[in-house]
Structure 1
Amino acid sequence: MSLFEPLSIFPRWIRLILGVYVRIHMGTKSVRLDDDVYERVKAHKREDETISEAIDRLIGTPSLHELGGILDDDRVDEMRKTIEDADEEDAAEVEELAERFK
């Protein structure tokens, strides 16, 4: 199993929701940056990210190597099955809703 496989079992929309949930529930803190530090961060900031996201990216986050071995194969299989079941339920609900509007 590759290091990235445990993360790949989640559809992109679930990863996005989890990211938003974490950001909402983590709170914020005000910090003071010297002008030169702010300008350096701003120079490295990507167009689609906030200053906070740029700082997070620049200082680094825990390596995916640190996540290796957290989930065993049985747990991964269980998670995949749960996600597949949820996807099937979602598809059925969408189909049912689509039928109502025909």
Structure 2
Amino acid sequence: MGTKTIGLREDVYDQLKGRKRDDESFTELVDRLLEESTPDWRDGFGTLSDTEADELESLSARSRAQLGADLSDRQQGVLEELSMVDEEDDGSETA
């Protein structure tokens, strides 16, 4: 694997050096810090203001209602098509 050289301000270098363990390289340090800072999907929950939370809840409710209506319309259309197919099959069969 190749390496890259990066430039750091001296204060940032000093901070990293202070967090570096005696037995680890700077690469291992950065890798460890990145793993520790992997965002958790739960971070940020509860950070909306009451107004933002109410607006989001309202938008979600409208979206669910519209989705339900759209699915109901599609289901009704399919049922109508199936009933027409059944009627055609009933009329075309001969004994």
TM-score (norm 2): 0.39
Q: Which has the larger radius of gyration?
A: 2
